[in-house]
Amino acid sequence: MENPLVKVLVVDDDPALRQLLADYLNRHSYDTLLAPDASDLAARIQRYSPDLIVLDRMMPDGDGAEACRRLRQQGEDIPVILLTGRDETVDRVIGLEAGADDYLGKPFDPRELLARIEAVLRRKKGASALTKDKPVVFGPFVFDPSTRQLSKEDAIIKLTGGEVNLLEALINNPGKPLSRDRLLALARDDDEGERNDRAIDIAVLRLRRAIEDDPKQPRWIQTVWGVGYRFSP
């Protein structure tokens, strides 16, 4: 399978294994990024926007399953494959309960990891394709992703490009709390104003004024204290 633009972030404290996987995946047209630990995993995702993470379960700086759980709690839905030195049922359960998409015990053949990466990416692509171009209806509103227009009772609601990006990011992650950093990344085409937390807050305020009956008591775009915002269809 040719994936010249697919980026895989490999997080493992074993430098030899990291390099082996980088060489192997690069030969199969993947762009492989390497990290020795998960201490700044969220920042690496923000900076490099990988398509999938291969994450070691047991590292000196902490548990990869816990790092995966934190990502899911922050609303991050990037696919994760966990690696572990123990291929036991309890470890697989812990990894899957933490939000991992797949689990692979060490030692393993790089060909098996490649097959699992491709399977996870196919599932992710298939799930996205199901709703990619379908209009999303919430209350009296209809958002058409093909035209990137929001309407109410057939009347188009005027939104800036940045506001549409933000609305689309929220709609594509229904019920998931999204941090301001994650929203900044998802709405990165927004060139209005300074790219910081305040810019997201202002854009959310504008969206609420456009779609909420009472912006001070929002129905659709809810604040998740200590995290960010959530679209509640």
Output the domain CATH number for residue 30.
Answer: 3.40.50.2300
Do 106 and 122 belong to one domain?
Answer: yes
Q: Please identify, among 129, 144, 167, the residue that sits at the C-terminal boundary of a domain.
A: 129
Residue 124 lies in a domain: yes
Do 170 and 56 belong to one domain?
Answer: no
Do 169 and 114 belong to one domain?
Answer: no
Do 33 and 104 belong to one domain?
Answer: yes
Q: Please identify, among 129, 161, 180, the residue that sits at the C-terminal boundary of a domain.
A: 129
Measured in whole angstroms, the distance separating CA 110 from the mean position of its chain's CA atoms is 25
Structural domain including 34 reads: 7-129
Do 47 and 69 belong to one domain?
Answer: yes
- Chain segment 158-216, per-residue pLDDT in tens: 988 888 888 988 988 888 888 887 787 777 653 444 456 677 888 899 999 999 999 99
Do 123 and 190 belong to one domain?
Answer: no
- The number of helices, as runs of H, and strands, as runs of E, in the chain is 8, 14
Average the pLDDT over 85-114 and give the result. 81
Q: Please identify, among 91, 111, 129, the residue that sits at the C-terminal boundary of a domain.
A: 129
Do 26 and 107 belong to one domain?
Answer: yes
Label the pairing between strands 149-152 and 141-144: antiparallel
- Chain segment 48-88, per-residue pLDDT in tens: 889 999 999 888 777 888 999 888 888 788 899 999 876 56
Do 11 and 104 belong to one domain?
Answer: yes
Whole-prediction pTM value?
Answer: 0.58
Do 78 and 109 belong to one domain?
Answer: yes
Report the C-alpha gap between 149 and 156 in whole angstroms: 7
* Residue 31 scores a pLDDT above 50: yes
Report the C-alpha gap between 232 and 30 in whole angstroms: 36
Report the C-alpha gap between 120 and 225 in whole angstroms: 32
User: What is residue 38's three-state secondary structure?
Assistant: coil
Of 45, 77, 70, 49, the residue nearest 172 (C-alpha): 77
The CATH number given to whatever domain includes residue 164 is: 1.10.10.10
In a 13 Å sphere around the CA of 119, the CA atoms on its Cβ side amount to: 10
Alpha helices of 132-218 — where are they, by DSSP H?
161-171, 180-186, 197-211
